[in-house]
Amino acid sequence: MKLNKYFLPLIIIAFAFFIIGFGVGINGIMVPILEQTFSLSKGMSYLVLTATFSAFLLFGGPSGWVVRKIGYKKSLIIALFIMSLGMLLFIPSAKMSSSMAGFYLFLTASFIGGIGNTLLQTTINPYIAIIEPVERAAQRMCLMGIMNQSAWFLGPIFLSLFIDVRNPVLANAAIPFGMAAGIIGLFALAMIFIPLPEITAEGEDEQDENNLENELVIAANRKKSVWQFPHLLLGVFALFLYVGVETLPMASVIDFARSTGVDSPARYSMIGPVGMIIGYIISIFVLQWLSQSKALILFSLIALTSSVLLVTLPPHIAIYFLSGLGFSHSIMWGCIWGLTITSMGKFTKSGASMLIVALVGGAAIPLTFGVLLDLIKTSDVTTPSDFQTVYRIFIPCYLYIFFYAFIGHKIGRKIAKS
């Protein structure tokens, strides 16, 4: 395969990554807005992310089955329509801000959007990962990540044009959510007429099994179950932690900024995404010289350093080290996928669906963060030091990702150069 053959498909997939980032970015800014509108506790407000990401746990496996049955293109179209429906349901929930029914409808809309997001992620991530050359999977993921994080940054800014985060009027959210639903729906309609070639991973097509030369693929195809890949199971947990620590800064930075008393806290939503976009650009070049495993080791150490500074420096300085975390995250997604899913032969789509289930970490870790904030705060107002205390949750997560990069991805697998 030649990569230029997939130029148009890569443009399509890049736009899909943009949509994912936009949706999650909007959810992040909705955490403090819903907290104020419905007088929620911190734990309750982070249920917004739980509703979105819990869909990965419930529908990750079924999504893999859907992709296997109907292919990448049809799966992508269905995913986009489901996400559009979720955005549409935000409109009536925004108009019900006077009762808790509006909050629960918002959670329902987030969950439906999460179902679409699950199917979309199951479609586009393996598509990007298995296009040859497979050793450049992390670089392609970095390019897609630029689109994703640009949208994650623009989503809150777009919504803040209609809603003041400090004095939110939730009913004003109906217009931006309606616009987002329309754009996603139109993209889904356009995809019906745009070609998106189906691809298969090396060894995934049983007819080609006799022509295989890759020892890893040959060994993978001899296995009976996807559960016989220790490196995959360890990688699933690494991705679970990664998605949690990637989501948490985006979801909490506005709250953290507001606790320090700064003006226009919504502007601080750019800290993480800007760091991540810079990291993506640098990562593309880093991966020219470093293997995926060595690059993941390096960026895990940068994340650990940023975490320590985040929890020890004065809050008005420490908040900017969320950008250091964003920088570190830039390479992690692509490297974990690249180290985990490539050369899995006929188990590629099954492995991908397991990795998608791991995205529930985006619900579990922010929710844990919110609950811990409620437990440790000593007054009705959450202080910057409260945030910094709970931000210590980052450190064990990055230690595990370092372990996976150093040795975990090799366990149970004969490794060529990774």
Residue type, 159: L
Is the pLDDT at 383 greater than 80, yes or no? Answer: yes
Phi-psi region of 261 (alpha: psi -120 to 50; beta: other; left: phi over 0): left
d(CA 280, CA 124): 18
Is the pLDDT at 265 greater than 90, yes or no? Answer: no
- Under the banding of pLDDT at 50, 70 and 90, the label for residue 386 is very high
The mean pLDDT value for 223-252 works out to: 89
CATH number at residue 395: 1.20.1250.20
Q: Does residue 201 belong to any structural domain of this protein?
A: no
Residue 76 CA, distance from chain mean position = 17
Number of domains in the chain: 1
Least confident piece of the model among 131-135, 240-244, 279-283, 330-334? 131-135
Average pLDDT of the chain is 84
Q: How far apart are the first and last CA of the chain?
A: 21
Q: What does the pLDDT read at residue 1?
A: 38
Q: Does residue 339 belong to any structural domain of this protein?
A: yes
Lookup: tokens for 144: 């897609």
Is the pLDDT at 129 greater than 80, yes or no? Answer: no
What is the per-residue pLDDT across 275-294, written as a single tens digit (0 to 9) for each? 888 988 898 888 888 888 99
- Under the banding of pLDDT at 50, 70 and 90, the label for residue 204 is low
Number of Cβ within a 10 Å radius of residue 209: 14
Q: Concatenated DSSP letters for 259-306? A: HTT-S-GGGGGGHHHHHHHHHHHHHHHHHHHS-HHHHHHHHHHHHHHH
Higher pLDDT residue, 237 or 250?
A: 237
Residue type, 13: I
* Residues written for the chain: 418
Residue 405 CA, distance from chain mean position = 19
d(CA 21, CA 253): 16
Which one-letter DSSP state was computed for residue 201?
-
- Under the banding of pLDDT at 50, 70 and 90, the label for residue 3 is very low
For residues 56 and 164, is the Cβ–Cβ distance under 8 A? no
The mean pLDDT value for 184-209 works out to: 77
Is the pLDDT at 183 greater than 70, yes or no? Answer: yes
- Under the banding of pLDDT at 50, 70 and 90, the label for residue 209 is low
d(CA 277, CA 355): 23
d(CA 192, CA 186): 10
d(CA 272, CA 253): 8
What residues contact residue 123 under an 8 Å CB cut-off, 6+ apart? 16, 63, 67, 72, 75, 76, 79
Q: What does the pLDDT read at residue 146?
A: 81
Q: Does residue 304 belong to any structural domain of this protein?
A: yes
Higher pLDDT residue, 230 or 416?
A: 230
Q: Does residue 341 belong to any structural domain of this protein?
A: yes
Residue 187 CA, distance from chain mean position = 21
Q: Does residue 256 belong to any structural domain of this protein?
A: yes
Is the pLDDT at 348 greater than 50, yes or no? Answer: yes
Domain that holds residue 87: 3-196+214-410
Q: Does residue 21 belong to any structural domain of this protein?
A: yes
What residues contact residue 275 under an 8 Å CB cut-off, 6+ apart? 322, 323, 324, 325, 326, 327, 330
d(CA 87, CA 176): 9
Q: What does the pLDDT read at residue 57?
A: 84
What residues contact residue 142 under an 8 Å CB cut-off, 6+ apart? 280, 281, 283, 284, 287, 330, 331, 334
What is the per-residue pLDDT across 42-73, written as a single tens digit (0 to 9) for each? 778 778 777 887 888 888 888 888 988 898 89
The candidate with the shortest Cα–Cα distance to 6, out of 286, 285, 199, 149, is 199
CA-atom Rg of the chain in angstroms: 21
Which CA distances in Å does 414 have to 211, 215, 325, 370, 400? 20, 8, 32, 41, 21
Q: What does the pLDDT read at residue 318?
A: 93
Q: Does residue 168 belong to any structural domain of this protein?
A: yes
- Under the banding of pLDDT at 50, 70 and 90, the label for residue 208 is low
d(CA 28, CA 50): 11
Is the pLDDT at 147 greater than 60, yes or no? Answer: yes
Q: Does residue 388 belong to any structural domain of this protein?
A: yes
Helices (DSSP H) in 192-270: which residue ranges?
Answer: 215-221, 230-259
For residues 206 and 346, is the Cβ–Cβ distance under 8 A? yes
